[in-house]
Amino acid sequence: MRHLNRCLMSIACFPLVLAVMPADAQIAIAPEQTHGTLITIPAYGEVIHANDQAHATLSIEEQDKDKAAAASRVNLKMKQGAEIVKRQDPTASLKTHSYYTYPVYPNDAGNTGNSKPKQVIAWRVGQSLDVTTTNLGDLPKMVAAAQALLSLNGLQFDLAPATSKKLDQQRIEAAYLNLTERVAGIAKAMGRNVSDAILESVDFEASGGYVPQQRLGMQAFAAKAAAPAPVEEPSFEPGETTQELHIVGKIKFK
């Protein structure tokens, strides 16, 4: 027992040495070990431009016991409304669509046991007009004039085709510049010269920017509308569009 105690005491007399590796120690890769390394690098380009084109949807709806009378008023007011738009903005592009006619039945939902066929009490007729223009300065005046007869049912701003084509070149340049900057940063981190990097491929993947469309509720006209009153000009903010381009480059070091 005494011998065991002496052995334990002898062990305690020797200092205990532990080799502790720092927590932040990293394994460095020598630059010469990166020869032939293939690296995939994502890059991004973005351009922002003020919207310079508007798409307005104007509509008309009439209701009458006489289907022909309702249709006649719709046809006349749509024709007059289109003439107002053309007069206010000769450069605008017009397109009519969504002409509809459907019957109106009495509201007898509470009488579920009634098996008699419902009688048509009126007819509802309507049509829409799409207006595309780059004349944003006169847009409020044009819309206000048209609202004397038609209702504004939708408005969207975006970029004119010529503007989009010009921005497409700019976003390609921005994305490629970002790629070259990232290649230089990666080469520096790896201890290599940028001149050692060979660009093997570039994959262009475009993604578009849209402006959310604002919808306004449709307004129904009375069967016998009064003479149209002047409408105050609305206020519009065209906003801007962001166009993006994502590309992926692959480089290999000599």
191 lies in some domain:
yes
119 in Cβ contact with 105 (< 8 Å)? yes
Q: Give the pair of three-digit tokens for residue 6.
A: 């002496």
Domain of 200: which CATH number?
3.30.110.170
What is the number of domains present in the chain? Answer: 2
The C-alpha atoms of residue 131 and residue 94 are separated, in whole angstroms, by 5
pTM above 0.75, yes or no: no
146 and 197 inside one domain: no
pLDDT string in tens for the chain (254-residue length): 555 455 444 444 444 444 444 545 455 677 767 777 788 888 988 999 999 999 999 999 999 999 999 999 999 999 999 999 999 999 999 999 999 999 999 985 445 556 677 899 999 999 999 999 999 999 999 999 999 999 999 999 999 999 998 998 898 899 989 998 988 998 888 888 888 888 888 888 644 333 333 333 333 333 334 445 666 666 667 788 888 888 888 888 88
Identify the CA nearest to 127 among candidates 225, 56, 59, 217: 59
Q: HSE of 97 in the Cβ direction (CA atoms, 13 Å)?
A: 7
- Give dist(CA 240, CA 223) in Å, integer: 41
The whole-angstrom separation of Cα 163 and Cα 167 is 6
Q: In this structure, is residue 10 part of a structural domain?
A: no
* 80 and 125 belong to one structural domain: yes
| CATH number of the domain enclosing 143 | 3.30.70.2970
> Residues 19-35: pLDDT tens digits?
444 545 455 677 767 77
Domain extent for 76: 56-105+119-158
When the pLDDT of each residue in the chain is averaged and rounded to a whole number, the result is 79
